Structure 1
Amino acid sequence: MEQIVDTCRKHVLSLFQKGQDVDDVLDSELNSFLQRKYPELSFAEKNEAVKIIKDDIKGYGPVQDLMDDNTITDIVVIKPDRIVYEQNGEIKLATAGFWSESHLRLFIERLCHRGKRKVDESSPTISLKLPEGYRVAISIPPLSGGSYLAIRKFIYCGSIDGMVPVTFSKEGAEFLKAATRAMVNMVFVGSMGTGKTTMIAVLGHEFAPMDLPLLVEEVEECPLDHQNLRKYVARPPNIEGKGEIKFDYILKHALQTRGNRILVAEVRDGAIFYMLRAMATGQSGMGTLHAESPQDAVRVQIPMLMGQAPEASAMDQATRNLIISSAIDLVVQMAKECDENGKEIRVCTHISEVQHSQGDAVQVKDIFVRRNREMVPTGYVPERILKKMNKKKVHYNLKGGQ
């Protein structure tokens, strides 16, 4: 089949090169060519060849079926004949594959063309966005041992109710819904792939219709949907090394554009200082970052990132702690674990309140924790959060939900 498809592809490309427009008659042209060149093929084999060629020329080649499946969130090409994907939290091996390294490289070049980017030996790694909004990370030799690519698809995110009881308990979910409506400042932390960015989109269902959310991202990936949403995405340098728009610049600009919710997906470098400063002065916000625990987030990761901002680098630790504790109300820890059947699932392990700092290390108190595969309340009453809920007239009973 590889030889047949390759011959068909060359035939179609030759027609394009001659200036013939075959888009509207591609099916009939391919069927006619196959009948002339390979009359011994069965009807099913001809249909298979036509589909492969159409996917290659007008679609996404061997991964077209994976791209069309709305239950698949990630596609990773490890080598030409080995493609894996994530579906409903489970990693699976695809039956399709590329025929060779050159076939894979041709596919990568077409992705770069669609994403208006370029990858070569002088710039062997790039991230780009496809017309559908999907994010693609590509690397080629000499940076990597082969041509690798990962496609992150973004599917519709329902409300947090759909994450009960696997990720959250009903009471934990109701608490976060109430906290969101009360415009409590939250940071979602965890390792890669635990669902931190997804949580912004999930809790976006609790935003009021006339809220003005601003979403700032390094790479567009958060599937948040809101009628008043404005998105800002950083931009890397172009092929000539020009045109870069840095993350911190975008964030500072976004803070001047009259939004009442600042949402930062994957806070990087010193940009976190501008987010925290906005939160500490009355701006409601959510952000995500990598951290191993709520304590690690407020005592190690956030202070370290703040130190990379020129305005914060000269501050002593006590001042940084004061900003952190004034800005952040909640830390929500996301993680992955295996369920009773060995299937990997995303879970929330901690919902913790940040205590006001008096100069020492910032403290957190757990409101909910995950024990024995279940999220349970600790008994701690988060007066700081409840006060914000009361101020916004959001009624919530910690023991019984809303």
Structure 2
Amino acid sequence: MKSLRVKKRERRSGAPDRGCTGLHLKNFRCFEDLSLDPSMTLLIGENGAGKTAVLEGLAVALGGLFLGLPGATAWNLGKDDARQVVYEHEGLLDLQPQWPVRVEAKGQLDGKPLDWSRMLQHADGRTTRVGATSIRSAGEKLARAVQRGKACELPVIAYYGAQRLWLHKKVTEAKRAVGSRYDGYIDALDPASNHRLLAEWMYQQTLVELQSRKPVAQLRAVEEAVCQCIKGTKRFFFDVRSQELMIEREDGERRPFWWLSDGYRNLVALVADMAWRAAVLNPHHGAHAAERSGGVVLIDEIDLHLHPRWQRKVLGDLRRTFPGLQFVTTTHSPQVAASAGREEIRILERGALVSEKPFVEGRDTNSLLEDVCRALARPVERGTKKGHPALAQHARRLPGRRGRRAAHEGRRGAPEDR
């Protein structure tokens, strides 16, 4: 498949006034057509369906803004992004990358429409900037306002990869934070984590609080975001004595950040990092930076290591804590799918959109596994593969999901066979 197109959608009430409203990918990996929701898009598909590739295409597009901002690093196209086509000549296979690789995007910044593109023409080339004039100019305009000390809105842009718990930056990189608003864009489009950057910033701001004996509003923004998004959390802070990020539960229990379970630590880090970026990019919002900042956040495998109960809540918690952000996320979880609106779900198979806006409201997990996640609700057990053909044939006459489930039971076999 040659391209992926994200069609513009009507902006719902309460949707962010900045974000990505359209995307077209040509010769990028393996895609054709897709659409995005202005507030939340949930991509569902098996491993290899292309969910991560969509996020990386968006990261390339969003990186166009960084071309106009000092110190921000854009995500560029690489030779491995080219779509591969196999030709056969007299029995010999010939693998050929397809050029040019092109990313076209439409978006809006503070309600103003933008249209731009980025392209890689061949394997030894560089990602072009010619087509990104509008988004680069928007970045340069923001940079001039920041230089004059104006309280302009800098959009939060971030990408959190599926290996964010295990890939970490070196400690020395965290020392780059020296007080600029642009610090909120450090490693913003790097899918690896940089928890140490957050910890370094919270350490510095905690020292400022102690020395000035006055609360730092931006520090409160991060703490309040974590407490609001993660039920049962009383405080999130940097403990100067132990030199550790700490979580204090409502029951009084305190634990270092690194002692938390993978799922808990992943969610805390995700929320805290977004809130920290919002607070640094838009310090004029003070303690309300998380709820008032806009932008686009990409999250691969949002259900990563989360208990099913938390999977049901995570989308709603993020929306409530960061109402101004546009989220594009991926998942394998029917629990996450059940918490999304039907207009927010896109089902991918082998690099293609196979379903848009499936009905999910009020459905049970088993039906979502079958119809949305494309998996059997129950595993086929040993010794039952032969099943009862007559029962399966009769079940196929039943309507809808009832028929599908009964047919599956027929293929598995009767209870006495199991």
TM-score normalized by the length of structure 2: 0.29
Structure showing greater Rg: 1
Larger RCO (alpha carbons 8 Å, 6+ apart): 2
TM-score normalized by the length of structure 1: 0.30
